[in-house]
Amino acid sequence: MTVYYKARDWDKVILAYRVYEEDGTEGSRTDIPMTKSCNGWVTATINGVKGRKVKLAFTNGEYAWDDSGYWARNTIVNVSDGKVLGGAPSCVVDADSVESIAITGPGVSNGALAITVNQVVQLKAVVSPAASTAKVTWKVDDGAVLKNDGEWIRGLKAGTATITAMAGGKSASVRVTVSPAVVPVSSVSLSVSSVSLAVGQSRRVTATVSPSNATDRSVSWKSSDTSVASVEQNGTVWGKKAGTATITATAGGKSASLTVTVPGQVSDSVVYYKPTVTLGVTPTLWYRVNGKASSVRMAAYCDGWYKAVVPGTNGAQVKLVFEVGGKWDSNGLVNGQHRGYFGSGKVLAVTAG
């Protein structure tokens, strides 16, 4: 039995009914919710009561009741204004009538939807009144961009297409924008893991983004200390000053790094020496730098001058003592120790004390 009820100003309507047997035996009360039908009517179906008397009552599930002794036997009845009539309300008789139709679904907003290639979405056509039995048909205007199987759609290639739902002479459409599927970056690797650069020296580093078909393959470069090492956006790294810096390449949220070492400038001191007495013997230079002593045989240069290189002085002060054929030229003695000549710089010259 299908029951229609002209709904009151209730938030919900519940049909409470009892089925009576032919011998008058009263069945227990059963409550079922009623759903919207049309023009303010609600409906519910009672199963398995064909030919038997049914007593009907209606409630909002709280305190309000409409229990006016409604009795029914018919397959379809409608209840309003305290009366039970056979048949459905007039608005239900035209079951195929459609007042409006709308399309809803995940991501649908203001008649538009954005998906990616191969993404599948199920749409839903909402027909009003809800009781309408009108058939809904679906149509896509560009089957090369968007494929549909009823309310199911799938993006085929980048572009835009419109899907339309039609029922009872009414229609609704959604404009679907299909974008290429996003392929995430899985890793970034660099051609080197570390590099040593002198000040002013550069080296090009290559970044490899995987997979090769990743959507965002653009690489950005950054230095942890641009005063030590800078990097151009093409991966060229420059040594700026002594120290260590980390260069990082990033693409699609993944990154890889390398260490750049810029050693300090290593400079030597060239020592020129002209003995006051020529003994025909090549002088030996004894020197001390940063507490470390060493010696080197000097080489003839010109006009009685001799030359030697003291390595790795880097501007530090150097103590110089010369020995020529067993004789010492050391700027005198202090407490029995050679006083020595002191100087710093790239070129030092000693002659005549």
Check residue 291 and report its DSSP letter: T
Residues 208 and 251 in one domain: yes
Region 240-262: what's the mean pLDDT? 95
Please report, for residues 36, 58, 187, 270, 307, the alpha-carbon distance to residue 184 in angstroms, rounded to integers and kept in the order given.
47, 58, 9, 59, 65
Does 94 map to a domain? no
Q: How far apart are CA 12 and CA 64, in angstroms?
A: 11
Mean of pLDDT over the chain: 91
- Structure-block tokens of residue 224: 């942890």
**101 pLDDT more than 90:** yes
Helices and strands: H and E segment counts in the chain: 1, 38
Chain segment 315-340, per-residue pLDDT in tens: 789 999 999 988 888 988 888 888 99
User: Is residue 328 assigned to a domain?
Assistant: yes
Does residue 69 carry a pLDDT above 90?
A: no
Count Cα neighbours of 308 within 13 Å in the Cβ-side half-sphere: 18
How many domains does one find in the chain? 4
**pLDDT for the residue 146:** 96
**What number is the average pLDDT over the span 144-172?**
95
Identify the residue whose tokens are 């300090």. Answer: 264
- Residue identified by tokens 């010259």 is 349
- Of residues 176 and 8, more confidence is placed in 176
- Which residue among 245, 262, 279 closes a domain? 262
pLDDT score for 266 = 66
Taking the C-alpha atoms of residue 177 and residue 162, their distance in angstroms, rounded to an integer, is 9
> Would 46 be classed as within a structural domain?
yes
Percent of the chain with pLDDT over 70: 97
Residue 51 neighbours by CB distance under 10 Å:
8
Among 92-101, 147-156, 342-351, the minimum mean pLDDT is found in 92-101
Q: Say if residue 39 is in the same domain as residue 21.
A: yes
Percent above pLDDT 90 for the chain: 67
Average pLDDT, stretch 181-210?
94
From the list 316, 264, 275, the residue with the least C-alpha distance to 292 is: 316
At 290 the pLDDT is 86
Domain limits for position 236: 187-262
Query: What pTM value is reported for the model?
Result: 0.44
**Which alpha helices (H) appear in 139-178, and where do they start and end?**
none
SS3 90: helix
Q: Whole-angstrom Cα distance, residue 345 to residue 318? A: 9
Single out the residue in 262, 294, 319 at which a domain terminates.
Answer: 262
**111 domain residue, yes or no:** yes
Please give the angle made by the CA atoms of 178, 184 and 185, to the nearest 5 degrees.
Answer: 145
Pairing status of strand 187-190 against strand 207-210: antiparallel
Same-domain check for residues 283 and 318: yes
